[in-house]
Amino acid sequence: MKTADPNFIGNAIPEYSNVQVMSYLIATHHEFTRNIMEEIDDLIVLAQKEVQEPPEELAELAALWKKYHRDMVMHLHDEEQILFPWIRELDHSGKNRDEVARTYTGPIKHMLEEHQHHEEEIERVKKLADQLSKKGGFIPVLARLSYKLRQLTNDLEEHMQIESELLFPRILKGN
């Protein structure tokens, strides 16, 4: 995993079992994502009330955010209730991937495909955060909103990197 901090706990992730990786993702990334998305919701509402001449990016973000937040919460739920149990069953059952996949094939395929869509959405949110920072960095609520958006996108990028470069390749290879 790429990281500048040699003491970062995530450096050990490649050595984790699949179940340990999933536990790490839930405890570290899923909880963080849920919490910060609620904070961002509140900041968007606050910014819409407080900023007298809001940048156009705020309205664009507000329009995008409701669907993005809902979709992301659903994706996290689906990972925890469908994908991760499938991986756990695969690890513990002694069955091969195809035997376990018969039960979950549609939802698993759908979740793997969702990652590409989420990457595109994250890039859009990141761009809006940067634009808000440039235009409204001197307005405290917009500065906080931009900062929280960057925290979220950084976390989601790391989360998806762990899944896409480590967990999913292991599963697809049958490890």
Q: How does pLDDT run across 139-162, given as a tens digit for each residue?
A: 899 989 999 999 999 999 899 889
pLDDT digits (tens, 9 = 90+) for 21-62: 999 999 999 999 999 999 999 999 999 999 988 889 899 999
Q: Quote the CA–CA distance of 175 and 169 in Å, as a whole number.
A: 8
d(Cα 30, Cα 141) in Å, to the nearest integer?
25
Domain that holds residue 125: 14-173
Write down the pTM of the prediction.
Answer: 0.82
Among candidates 102, 27, 37, which has minimal Cα distance to 71? 37
Q: 1 lies in a domain?
A: no
Tell me if 54 is assigned to some domain: yes
Assigned domain for 5 exists: no
Distances in whole angstroms, Cα of residue 161 to Cα of each of 61, 77, 104, 149: 24, 19, 23, 18
pLDDT-based confidence at 169, cuts 50/70/90? Answer: confident
Residue 161 within a domain: yes
Whether residue 3 lies inside any domain: the answer is: no
Is residue 134 assigned to a domain?
yes
In a domain, 6, yes or no: no
Residue with tokens 């959405």: 121
pLDDT, tens digit, for every residue of 76-85? 998 899 888 8
Question: Residue 19 contacts by C-beta under 8 Å, 6 or more apart in sequence?
Answer: 87, 88, 91
Number of structural domains the chain divides into: 1
Structural domain contains residue 53: yes
Here the tokens at position 129 are 């955060």
